[in-house]
Structure 1
Amino acid sequence: MVDDADISSEVEEIARANSLAALMRKAPTAESLTECEECGEDIPEARRKAVAGCKRCIDCARKAEKTTDRMFPQS
């Protein structure tokens, strides 16, 4: 016999699978830029290879992440 906990568990599993599928569709597959879109500095080849679709140099990426963390704290 199926109870509410089983149904909730199944709904949660489906939602998690859908969320993961959506994230995978959004994963960057484009080539990385050779110059940072923020400051125009060259993006090192190692970073371009390590981070698919990167558009910022490491310094600008850190600044953007700090801004995001201030706007959306992870607590």
Structure 2
Amino acid sequence: MATGWAGDGAVQDQIDATVSDAIKRARARLRQGPGLEHCEECDAEIPQARRDAVPGVRLCVHCQEAADREEREATGYNRRGSKDSQLR
């Protein structure tokens, strides 16, 4: 049952849109093709096993962990400001 101006299923439509957007963003970040033999940050050798496991790898494990940590700190997701939490 919808209230106000929202149509039936509006909440689920917004949840679906949020999930779809997140999937698109994640797929856009995936690299393709052969990986580098040496890390583009520190020039350390990237083992063949890592290059086989991660298509398009550009960073060694140490530099990738640092990049992931920086990204998490910089993007701080505000759950209170998300579309889904405002629907409750």
TM-score (norm 2): 0.60
Structure 1 range deviating more: 59-68 or 45-54: 59-68
Q: In the comparison of the two structures, how many residue pairs are matched? A: 74
Cα distance, 1:69 vs structure 2: 4.3
Q: Which runs of 5+ in 1 are unaligned?
A: none
Cα distance, 1:72 vs structure 2: 4.7
Q: CA offsets, 1:9-48, max 9 Å, x none?
A: 1232133224313432332113211111111121000111
Structure 1 range deviating more: 42-51 or 54-63: 54-63
Percent identical: 22
Q: 2:39, 2:55 → 1: CA distance? A: 14
TM-score (norm 1): 0.68
Structure having greater relative contact order (Cα 8 Å, sep ≥ 6): 2
Match of 2:44 in 1: 41
Q: Which runs of 5+ in 2 are unaligned?
A: 78-88
